[in-house]
Amino acid sequence: MDRRAFIKSTCISGAWLMSFSVTGFAQKEQTNKTGWSLYISIQPDNSVIMESPVMEAGQFMRTTGPMMIADEMDLEWQSIQFSEATLAPLLRDENNKLLYRYAKINTGGSFSVRWTWNYLRHCGATARYLLMLEAGQRLKVPISELYSSRNFVLQRNSDIKIPYGDLAEQASKRTVERHRVRLKNKSNFTIIGTEKKNIDAKAIVTGKPLFGIDTDYPGCLQVVVDRAPALGADIKQYNRKAALAIPGVHQVVEIEKSEKAHFMSNQPQPLVASGIAVVADSLWAALQGKTALNTQWINTSSYKDLNSENELKKLHRQVDNPEQTRETLQNIGNIEAALQAADTVLDQQYEKPLFGHVLMEPFNAIVDLKADSATIITGHQNPMLIAEEVERLTGINALNVAITCKRMGGAFGRRFETDWICEAIKIAQKVQAPIKVTWLREDEIEQDYFDPGAVAKIRAGVKKGKVIAWDYCQSQTKAGVQDSCFPHGLVENYRVQRCKHETLIPAGPWRGPQHLFWAFANESMIDELAYKSKQDPLQFRLNMLQPERELPYTNWGASVKNSGRMAECFQAAAKRARWNMVRPKGRGLGIAGHFCHGSYAAFVVEVWVIDNILKIHQAWGAIDCGLPINPNHIRAQMEGGFIDGLNAALFNKINMVEGAVQNNQFGLLKMGLMKHAPYKIDTQIIANDYEPTGVGEPPTAPAMAALVNAIFAASGIRIRSLPVSEILALEA
């Protein structure tokens, strides 16, 4: 291809296989200068096969991504088939840095739609242009006399139409200058903006093998690992003979523990736990062998005294101590003078415990190591990291690592880690045969990289009904503070500080890292100020957001935030909830909203609290995520994300004693059931012409605050420490 070309294509068995590899447009989108890729195969029968543009973890991108390209390509949606897995080919740049060969296919940070919006549409438009060029050549007419629709190129004022499948082979030999390609106007969209079901929905509910845990591999041995239940613990003794006596068990292999600097903090964290791997013909035999080991553990490590409750107490002491070393992140105006001038000052502390990820699909990985190549099959948010770990641990060139990426049964940041991959590689090195490692639920909880425990102290002042001072101080077991979110920019005197705290408790990203706690603490305090100053909580928020203005934003996912767009979400959710309707005693509405990842979301929750028993009745939400590509996708994320936040508020609390998680299974770490969820979540999508933004994480953030604010409205009980289930009982 010459430097003007936008796509790379070949013709295989009569099918046009297009690899969108950018030397022009998409380089502007990517810092790694390699562009993006989406494989599309046009078959001779006029059907189309597409590969997902990014990793799929339940965020709908296997559906929404192809919608963008299919619309610009004028494809018939029903004619498209979708591959079940995504490959991850790699390359090295001139500095020997490992990069994706065609596509930055990793997912996380609610960026998938935002980063693919322009690129994928240009892919589709370019492919359509090439097909029309070929049709024009055949018909000997300019392409201005042609148009495309539903896998055909048609001639205007004529009955002539040519299937894409007939044009594909010759079109694959053409090139196009990028400036000649034109995107559709919004008014011409036929797929974007329409309701499309999850393409995998039927396969999921009928049990098709879409996930890594379902996958088989020729000659593969099954592995279950008995891992140290406490951080840093070592093997004291175990019964190797008893495990080997189990029919079907072939080997018992010890695994050495290791640490690695974590990408969030650059501080060492546990990577692989000490353990004993049982290698067998079947998963059942491996499980029996694990039980037979009867492993005893000993812990003399620096992790042995870790206690989650003690850590939270330290955090409270730090935010209370003015002598504590603090980092000032925001300092606008004069906080102390404003607090002195205020008519009303509130000083409160808010607390959240460690959260576990608790993925519905436990970790699993198939590893087949050869002398100079490797095959890995798993679900991962950033599969390039897998190849890097194979190279680091085995010396096999990362370019010789074939990675097959399966659909993930939940990710939420946890599948951005590589601990389970590294462990599987180490085991495969010792076993010298293809293996599949399957984790148990207890392992997934015990070996987690937890969402940090955190405490915030907020001092806020109101004068003549207006918030004039906001002083926020946070301490957490790890990670940072979302200091650029609202109410930043809304209060004249605004300060955010972070206490320096050292802990060995592992931490990692958890669906909207730190946003959930920021929204919980700040939206709770806003509610408290509204009630204290005898103002309606909704109107109080709207007053803070007026006048509409665009404000700087320095955290991940955006560069500006707009107070008017946030206000519109509050108004829309409240209107759907009939906010001003009088409720019976014991019933109340709570409201909360948040901006993150470029999107605005607000929720109203209705609860009943009678005799200290909580019933969550209904919820109403509104989201502004720019132009809505797939409303079905957005509603699903609004519902699922909000319920995830509710579950965290109600139940999610990791209890660690002496470095070991005590509530390491569902019987001990409770999860929300259907009876705990609202019977209905009514969502309004605020459509506009802004470019699409993320919807995976924004709905989660307001959930905790909306719930506790509703509880206060219903009962007068103000909850500042989570989980809620430790304070109120839930309806049986």
Q: Please report the pLDDT score of residue 119 as a whole number.
A: 83
Same domain, residue pair 237 and 202: no
Same domain membership, residue 138 and residue 74? yes
| C-alpha span between 590 and 671 (Å, rounded) | 22
How many other CB atoms sit within 10 Å of the CB of residue 175?
15
**Sign of the alpha-carbon torsion through 116, 118, 124, 127:** negative
Q: Which pLDDT value is given to residue 652?
A: 97
Which of 418, 447, 476 is the C-terminal boundary of a domain?
Answer: 447
pLDDT digits (tens, 9 = 90+) for 525-563: 999 999 999 999 999 999 999 999 999 999 988 999 999
Question: Domain residues for 225?
Answer: 212-300+360-447
Indicate the average pLDDT of the chain: 92
Question: Is residue 532 located within the same domain as residue 609?
Answer: yes
Closest alpha carbon to 193 in 687, 695, 694, 691: 687
- Farthest CA pair distance, the chain: 84
CATH number at residue 407: 3.30.365.10
Residue 17 pLDDT: 52
Query: Are 296 and 418 contained in the same domain?
Result: yes
Examine the domain organization and report whether 101 and 217 are in the same domain. no
CA distance 429 to 432: 6
Q: Please give the full DSSP string across 343-381, using - where no structure is assigned.
A: SEEEEEEEEE--B----SS--EEEEEE-SS-EEEEE--S
pLDDT tens for each residue of 651-673? 999 999 999 999 999 999 999 99
- Tell me what percent of the residues of the chain surpass a pLDDT of 90: 82
pLDDT in tens, 420-468: 999 999 999 999 999 999 999 999 999 999 999 999 999 999 999 999 9
Paired tokens of 536: 């309606």
Domain annotation covers residue 11: no
How far apart are alpha carbons 475 and 348 in whole angstroms? Answer: 14
Our count of domains for the chain comes to 3
Within-domain flag for 2: no
Question: Shortest CA distance to 528 belongs to which of 669, 716, 387?
Answer: 716
CA distances to 93, 459, 495 from 336, rounded to whole Å, are 53, 10, 10
- Per-residue HEC secondary structure of 158-185 comes to CCCEEEHHHHHHHHCCCCCCHHHCCCCC
Across residues 8-35, what is the average pLDDT? 41
Q: pLDDT digit string (tens) for 190-238?
A: 999 999 999 999 999 999 889 999 999 999 999 999 999 999 999 999 9
Same domain, 192 and 329: no
Q: Average pLDDT for residues 50-60, to the nearest whole number?
A: 84
* Cβ–Cβ under 8 Å, residues 227 and 268: no
Tell me: do 382 and 508 sit in the same domain.
no
The DSSP line for 609-675 is EETTEEEEEEEEEEEE-SS-S-HHHHHHHHHHHHHHHHHHHHT----EETTEES--STTTS----GG
390, 422, 447 — which closes off a domain? 447
At 716 the three-state DSSP class reads coil
Which two three-digit tokens encode residue 19?
A: 């690899």
Distance CA 165, CA 123 (A): 18
More confident position, 14 or 162: 162
Using CA of residue 410, residue 416, residue 417, residue 421, what is the dihedral sign?
positive
Residue 254, beta-bridge partner list: 276
Neighbours of 97 (CB within 10 A): 9
* Rounded-to-integer distance, Cα 238 and Cα 260, Å: 27
Whether residue 70 contacts residue 196, with contact meaning beta carbons closer than 8 Å, is answered with no
For residues 559 and 649, membership in a common domain is answered with yes
Measured in residues, the chain has a length of 732
Please tell me the distance from the alpha carbon of residue 394 to that of residue 169, in angstroms, as a whole number.
42
pLDDT at residue number 39: 66
In a domain, 6, yes or no: no
Q: In this predicted structure, what is the pLDDT of residue 720?
A: 98
**Domain boundary at 425, 447, 469, which?**
447
For 702, phi then psi, to 5°, come to: -75, -10
For residue 110, the model assigns a pLDDT of 86
CA 698 to chain centre: 10
Residue 322 lies in a domain: yes
Helices H / strands E in the chain, number of each: 16, 36
- Find tokens 């996930």 and name the residue: 211
Task: Look at residue 708 and tell me if it is in a domain.
Answer: yes
pLDDT digit string, tens, across residues 606-640 = 999 999 999 999 999 999 999 999 999 999 999 99
Question: What's the pLDDT tens digit per position in 256-291?
Answer: 999 999 988 888 999 999 999 999 999 999 999 999
| pTM for the structure as a whole | 0.94
Whether residue 461 sits in one domain with residue 436 = no
pLDDT of residue 171: 86
Whether residues 68 and 136 fall in one domain: yes
Contact by Cβ (8 Å): 366, 376: yes
At 38 the pLDDT is: 52
CB 415 within 8 A of CB 401: no
Mean pLDDT check: name the lowest of 100-109, 140-149, 515-524, 675-684. 100-109
In a domain, 381, yes or no: yes
Are 194 and 285 in a shared domain?
Answer: no
Within a domain: 440: yes
User: Can you tell me the distance from the alpha carbon of 337 to that of 191, in angstroms, rounded to the nearest whole number?
Assistant: 56
Helix, strand, coil percentages for the chain (3-state, nearest 5)? 30, 25, 40
Element (H, E) at 5: none
pLDDT at 7: 46
Residue 110 CA to residue 698 CA, distance in Å, equals: 8
Per-residue pLDDT, 176: 83
Residues 255 and 322 in one domain: no
Res. 11: pLDDT tops 70: no
The model's pLDDT over 360-411, given as tens digits with 9 standing for 90+, comes to: 999 999 999 999 999 999 999 999 999 999 999 999 999 999 999 999 999 9
CA distance 258 to 426: 11
30 confidence band (pLDDT: 50, 70, 90)? very low
Question: Does residue 227 form part of some domain?
Answer: yes
